[in-house]
Amino acid sequence: MNPGLLYEPPFTDIHDEGLDGVFDDDAADEIVALVKAFNQKADYSLKEIA
Residue 45 in this model has a pLDDT that exceeds 90: no
Indicate the domain borders of the chain. 3-49
Residue 48 in this model has a pLDDT that exceeds 80: no
Summary mean pLDDT of the chain: 90
Tell me if the pTM is above 0.85.
no
* Alpha-helix runs per DSSP H in 1-50: 11-14, 19-22, 25-49
* Residue 22, amino acid: V
Q: What is the pLDDT of residue 44?
A: 66
Picking from 25, 47, 37, 30, the residue whose alpha carbon sits closest to that of residue 1 is: 37
